[in-house]
Amino acid sequence: MKNKFISFIAIGALLALIAACASEKDMHDGMASASKKGGMMKGEAAMGSFQLEAGKVVNVDMGKTILIKNDMGEVALNLEKAAPVIDAMAGMSTKMTSIKKDDQVYAWVSPAYTASMPPQTAAEVVFINVKNMEEIPTLVEIASVASEKDGYAVTAADGSKWMLAQATEIAMCASTGTPGKTDAKALKKGVKALFWKSGMMKDDMMMKSDMKMKDDMMTESSRVLIIKK
Domain boundaries, the chain: 51-132, 138-228
Q: Could you tell me if 153 and 213 are in contact, meaning their C-beta atoms sit under 8 angstroms apart? A: no
What mean pLDDT do residues 114-127 have? 96
The per-residue pLDDT for range 49-91, each reduced to its tens digit, is: 799 999 999 999 977 899 999 999 999 999 988 799 999 988 8
Nearest partner of 121 among 58, 192, 175, 68, judged by Cα = 68
Higher-pLDDT residue of 4 and 66 is 66
- Span 157-161, average pLDDT: 93
pLDDT at 29: 39
Q: What is the pTM of this model?
A: 0.72
Cα(45)–Cα(57) distance, integer angstroms = 24
Least trusted range by pLDDT, from 21-35, 47-61, 214-228: 21-35
- Determine which of 8-12, 152-156, 162-166, 217-221 has the lowest per-residue pLDDT on average: 8-12
Distances (CA, A) of 86 to 13, 60, 61, 108, 176: 63, 16, 17, 11, 14
Angle at alpha carbon of residue 31, lines to 114 and 15, rounded to 5°: 135
Distance (Å, whole) CA 71 – CA 86: 24
Q: What is the mean pLDDT of the chain?
A: 78
- Please give the pLDDT value at position 63: 72
Strongest mean pLDDT among 22-26, 62-66, 200-204: 62-66
**Would you place residue 216 in the very low, low, confident or very high pLDDT band (cuts 50, 70, 90)?**
low
Higher pLDDT, 135 or 168: 168
Q: Contact, 50 vs 109, CB < 8 A?
A: yes
Predicted confidence at residue 123, as pLDDT, reads 97
**pLDDT reading at 1 higher than 80:** no
Is the pLDDT at 28 greater than 60, yes or no? no
Class in CATH terms, 51-132: mainly beta
pLDDT at 135 over 60: yes
Output the pLDDT for position 199. Answer: 60
Q: What mean pLDDT is predicted for residues 88-112?
A: 93
More confident residue, 2 or 124: 124
